[in-house]
Amino acid sequence: MLFHFLFTLLVAPLHAAYAGAGPSDYHERLLLRPLPQSALLASFNFRSNTSASAFDQQNFRLFPRSLGQILQHTNTKELHLRFSVGRWDAESWGALPWNGAREGGTGVELWAWLEADSEEQANAQWLTLTNTLSGLFCASLNFIDSTKTIRPVMSFQPEGSHSESSLSSLHLLHGTLPHEVVCTENLTPFLKLLPCKGKAGISSLFDGHKLFDASWQTMSIDVRPVCPADGSECILEMEQTVDMVLDIERSKRPRENPIPRPGKMEDLVCDSSKHYSAYGDACYPLHRSSDPTWSLTEVFGRPIKGSCHLADLSGEGSETICINVPPEREVRVNTSSSFSEHRHEDGFLRCYKLSNGDDFDLELPDQTLLVDTPLPQPHLYAARSINGYGQERGSVQAVINNPSTTSAIDFVYLESLPWFMKPYLHTLHASVSSSSATNATSGAVENPIVETYYRPAVDRHRGTHLELLLSVPPASTLTLTYDFDKAILRYTEYPPDANRGFDVAPAVIRLLSPKEAKASRGAYLRTTSLLLPLPTPDFSMPYNVIILTSTVMALGFGSIFNPLVRRFVAADEVASVGPGGLKGFIRAKFTRLVARFASKGTKSQ
Amino acid sequence: MTLLSSILGLRRDERLLKIPPYLSALLVIVGCVWLCLLPLDEYSRKTYISENALLPGQVHTYFGGSEHNVFRAYRHEVAGLVGKSEQERSQKLGDILRLAGLKVATQKYEYDVSGRKLSGENVYAVLQGPRADATEAVVMIASWKTMNGDINHSGVALLLTLARYMKRWSLWSKDVIFLISGDSREGPQAWVDAYHNAVLPASVEPLTIKSGALQGAVAIEYPAGPWGHRFDKLHILYDGTNGQLSNLDLFNTAVQIASNQMGIGCTLQRMFDHKNTYEERLQTMLRGMVNQGLGHSTGPHSSFIPYHVDAITLQTVGDGWHDEMGLGKVVESLFRSLNNLLEHLHQSFFLYLLLQAKVFVSIGTYLPSAMLVAANFTVTCIALWVQSGRPLNSSKATSAATPGASKEEKMVVIKEKKSVALVPASTLAVVERKMFFPLAYIAAAHFLGLIPFYLFNNSPEHVLRPLFHATTAITLVLPIMTATAVSQFRRPTQQETTLIQCFSLLLLGMFLSALATLNFSLSFIIGVLAVPLSFVRRIPNSTVLPCLMTVILTAVSPMMVATLATQHWHYDVVDLLLQAAQGWHIWGMWTQVVVWLVWFPAWFAGASIVVWSLPGL
């Protein structure tokens, strides 16, 4: 409860800053939050606005033209794109930094509201959108075809303000690529969309080496129309976020020597109270009780190169760097120019305002802390796994745990399954087990499934779309299971790369009941993706056969073709050609010339 | 024309019917000789790495330096836990793993087999690959007790040290699961069953933390105590339950890394001093076949193989100069290789016989030997079927008659379209086969096998020894008793006994040839032990031969073979039965099913045939 209170205290001012469109059209903010086990959450947020009229007239200033034109061409009214790697460790790191509203599941996820008259038209526009975005972001988004596209019913709501009349013609389409590996080639186009392009401001911290060495990392792009309540002109807001959890120890390793070799004996902190420590050759390593020392330069490989001059220079929006540490934690600022520090009331949040131009670095020395930063706790924990073994069938088990002792949580569970994974809906079974004995009697839920939306798969045309409205009582665990069959693919349907199995997209969980979840962004949770091994032929066999037959054909063809095109000359004829070499060549030419003249002579006679 | 008639004539030729026994014998001999040829260089092959992604030994290993001090400390900690309660032990081991920054969980399990409670607690920790998406995982196992029952001091300490060391690396593309199982066989089984949510008894807890699909598992057994012990060689175990083997690539990778990168010799099948001679290769192969044939769990890795998770166990043996850091580097390098895997291990062989650490025979080369042995039963079966359809006295008459008399035999002209053949009338005579009694007898024999099968698997430990002796005695006299009992009502005709043997051999040949593709060794061993069954006959009016056959059949009866084998290897028969019961209840082992429902009925039918030819029955 205390955590929740502190969390609201702590995050409220942050979020208030984003609530309305400020005077300026570009905002950026970095939130740093040290996490347990020497991890560090760095949450970058960039927002740029453009007025609807300027957008319609293709008058792009802060809004990137490349993306804007794609949106206009495909009639996309609202767009959400996620690139993620790794997984969020909710047990140690607490709730997601944006409550899941800006974080994606493993791989790439895209959903958008397209304006179209019919479903076919929406599909065609969606195809254009995925293909153009694929080019823009160097991702395989073009592989989001009809088999990977669903039209969610309950899981997503438009974030932006759309008029009632336009809502009816908006189509929501959602596609995922769980196997897409996000890497530097996706970061570069992402940076290009920013006004300061990674040259100044907080985006200057982006270094592919550090960013993609993170334990968890997600990038998102959200475009939505925002119409102020006072009736003034609507604006189009583009929000880009990059969230990552860095391992401080790992990030601090120098680039020349990134190998984590065993440390020197002197560096080990040993427990000297052990009876064997007297022998001198044994060391029971102790856990470091103090917070590790780190600085922005060490963790990100470079300092912040001043502020982006396009951003707000006054007001709360100008506090571009915030760090979430206990009040007694010492934070040194290394910069040659002026800066201002602002501590928020509860003391757990400090924000800094940067000046133009000069390098800015934060340094946190080694310090033993008495109070830990309270971490916001998640409302739900979710884990999903494939059970069973063999090539024929299996079952999926999703375990969703509600840690709250007081409030039940309603949520929507969305599964988008590939067509070759064929679930049996009659085996869908949800059971609730209470972790505390007292709740077992009071919160006896007969069937936690309140509502089911199911669209079965069609082989090779569309995947399964399953949406469930569920409710989990306080302090209990909901186990959702269903069985499935594995289809046998045609051999051309296997991807050309090494076949480790097929990835199943993460399940999306949308929280409905707690108050915070009612915000326009919503609160989400995503499980990890699954690996679905399918019966796979040994592809080396056909290739062996192809290679062997090709060799045989080449040999056969060569030996037949060779005598066919060769001119055979008898041995005695060869001798008449005479000696080789230059001398022979000249002599042959000469004799031919002589012969020609001789023949002319005979003709004339 | 002439060809057809000669074939038609040959079909019922007396001489043709004399061939099958010799053919059977030939098949058996060729099958056995075939097996003995396998260790020769001409028939075996050098092992090689088939999966290019593995790249064994291509990485630098950095495990060493100050990690050695940590290892020693952990070894002292492990030694301090000996004799402590299970809960305290799990707590401490979990704390060490938790301190390394891993997610730790425990699993309690309890099995009730033969009136004994086999219980324990598994501690495991998941190292989440920093860039991994939780879809794949590899497992490192160190059971608390080794297969020999010693405390796995250094093995557990090495696992703890490696967990701490590997956590610092960011290159893991798969999750690494560190499992300290309560014991070496039931613990891993309980864990892997729970991991795949297989049907579990209520006494096995489900797992609270899971990761992705398992891609491989490596178990470490290094029982050296708190003061260490340098070892000479690595003994690699690779056979799983029911004779399933782990992928040869995994074994090869381990051998390659240990011998080429670290200079540690590798042995297998307890051939600790292998000089690569023919005899030693043959012995290695036969030991491997016995292990495979028994189908028992040979180590912590065995339980993983039925789930298509390739696994091996590394045991340290002998006195030498290799220390724990060398073993640690082998394991580190092995996990780096597994980490490279893009696909599930599938490239190399799953069915092979190893003759030495670097020499193997693939299934295509060795399978014919078991198939030939199995085929001998089918050949005899066909011969018996033909024989059963012939009138008994006519054949006797022809054989007894003088050559002159046979010339006066009635000849029949057979016309088929334009073909004409002249054959003796006697060969065309057909006797109606009375099938009911033989079929019922064979069916009853198979159901009979269920009784000892049930009794051995469900009796408490203290009953097992008397039960075994009683079963031995009963099964040995059972054919006589049955024969006497049946003869009281109706003495079976010669044709009926022939048919009984025919059906019994038909089933035996069928089962064994099918089994040869699943568990070659079991099929071969049972096939060889059952060879006398295809040569026994009901011989009336003779005393010596039936007695001799009875003696031979007694010697190769399943119970006598079990008795003799346990005596030869100085193994307690109760242990064998306990293992068998555990196998059936915990590991899902099918060897007993084969023994009681394939071998025993065949033996029983064969013994009955012989007993009926004894005088007075």
Domain edges within chain A: 2-260+268-364, 381-537, 541-604
Q: Which residue has the higher pLDDT, B579 or B405?
A: B579
Which chain A residue is nearest to residue B169, measuring alpha carbons? A260
Q: Do A538 and B346 touch (CB under 8 A)?
A: yes
Whether residue A291 contacts residue A329, with contact meaning beta carbons closer than 8 Å, is answered with: yes
Q: Do B132 and A395 touch (CB under 8 A)?
A: no
pLDDT at B400: 41
Mean of pLDDT values over B533-560: 89
- Residue B170: its chain A contacts at CB < 8 A? 213, 247, 250
Strand boundaries in A106-179, DSSP class E: 107-115, 149-150, 170-177
Mean of pLDDT values over B23-27: 95
Rounded to a whole number of angstroms, the distance from the CA of B204 to the nearest CA of chain A is 16
Task: Measure the CA–CA gap between A202 and A216, rounded to whole angstroms.
Answer: 19
Rounded to a whole number of angstroms, the distance from the CA of B104 to the nearest CA of chain A is 12
Q: Do A500 and B212 touch (CB under 8 A)?
A: no
- Residue A253: its chain B contacts at CB < 8 A? none
pLDDT at B530: 95
Task: Measure the CA–CA gap between A312 and A605, rounded to whole angstroms.
Answer: 106
pLDDT at A495: 81
- Residue A261: its chain B contacts at CB < 8 A? 62, 65
Task: Measure the CA–CA gap between B531 and B540, rounded to whole angstroms.
Answer: 22
β-partners of residue A378 are none
Rounded to a whole number of angstroms, the distance from the CA of B72 to the nearest CA of chain A is 5
Q: Do A274 and B342 touch (CB under 8 A)?
A: no
Which chain A residue is nearest to residue B95, measuring alpha carbons? A287
pLDDT at A11: 45
Q: Do A89 and B128 touch (CB under 8 A)?
A: yes
Mean of pLDDT values over A508-534: 84
* pLDDT tens string B528-544: 999 999 999 888 777 88
Q: Do B66 and A267 touch (CB under 8 A)?
A: yes
Whether residue A15 contacts residue A382, with contact meaning beta carbons closer than 8 Å, is answered with: no
Q: Does B155 score more than 80 pLDDT? A: yes
Task: Measure the CA–CA gap between B246 and B574, rounded to whole angstroms.
Answer: 29
Mean of pLDDT values over A425-430: 93
- Note the CATH number of domain B52-357: 3.40.630.10
Strand boundaries in B389-492, DSSP class E: 411-416, 419-424
* pLDDT tens string A163-189: 888 888 999 999 999 988 888 899 999
Label residue A504 by pLDDT band (50, 70, 90): very high
Candidates B134, B169, B344; nearest CB to A87: B134
B77-81: list long-range contacts, CB under 8 Å, 24+ apart.
Answer: B77/A284, B77/B157, B77/B160, B78/B151, B78/B153, B78/B156, B78/B157, B78/B160, B78/B226, B79/B153, B79/B225, B79/B226
Question: What would be the CATH architecture of the domain defined by A381-537?
Answer: Sandwich (2.60)
Which range is most confident: A324-333, A541-550, B231-240? B231-240
pLDDT at B412: 76
Mean of pLDDT values over A48-63: 88
Asked if the ipTM is above 0.90, the reply is no
Label residue A8 by pLDDT band (50, 70, 90): very low
- Residue B344: its chain A contacts at CB < 8 A? 500-501, 533
Task: Measure the CA–CA gap between B39 and B366, rounded to whole angstroms.
Answer: 10
Question: Dihedral of CA A103/A105/A110/A111: which sign?
Answer: negative
pLDDT at A445: 57
- Say how many CB pairs under 8 Å bridge A and B: 132
Candidates B72, B128, B343; nearest CB to A499: B343
**Poorest-pLDDT segment among A387-396, B163-172, B216-225, B539-548:** B539-548
Mean of pLDDT values over A206-235: 88
Average pLDDT, chain B: 90
**A335 three-state secondary structure:** strand
* pLDDT tens string B409-422: 677 777 777 777 77
- Residue A212: its chain B contacts at CB < 8 A? 131
pLDDT at B200: 76
pLDDT at A19: 37
Average pLDDT, chain A: 85
Rounded to a whole number of angstroms, the distance from the CA of A480 to the nearest CA of chain B is 14
Candidates A86, A285, A531; nearest CB to B70: A285
Q: Do A263 and B66 touch (CB under 8 A)?
A: yes
* pLDDT tens string B122-146: 999 999 988 888 899 999 999 999 9
Amino acid B613 reads: S
Q: Does A320 score more than 90 pLDDT? A: no
Q: Which residue has the higher pLDDT, A376 or B412?
A: A376
Rounded to a whole number of angstroms, the distance from the CA of B507 to the nearest CA of chain A is 29
* Chain centre distance of CA A215: 12
CA angle, B244 as apex, B238 and B245 as ends, to 5°?
A: 30
Q: Does A23 score more than 50 pLDDT? A: no
**B356 three-state secondary structure:** strand
* pLDDT tens string B230-250: 999 999 999 999 999 999 999
* pLDDT tens string A105-114: 899 999 999 9
Mean of pLDDT values over B465-484: 92
Mean of pLDDT values over B194-200: 85
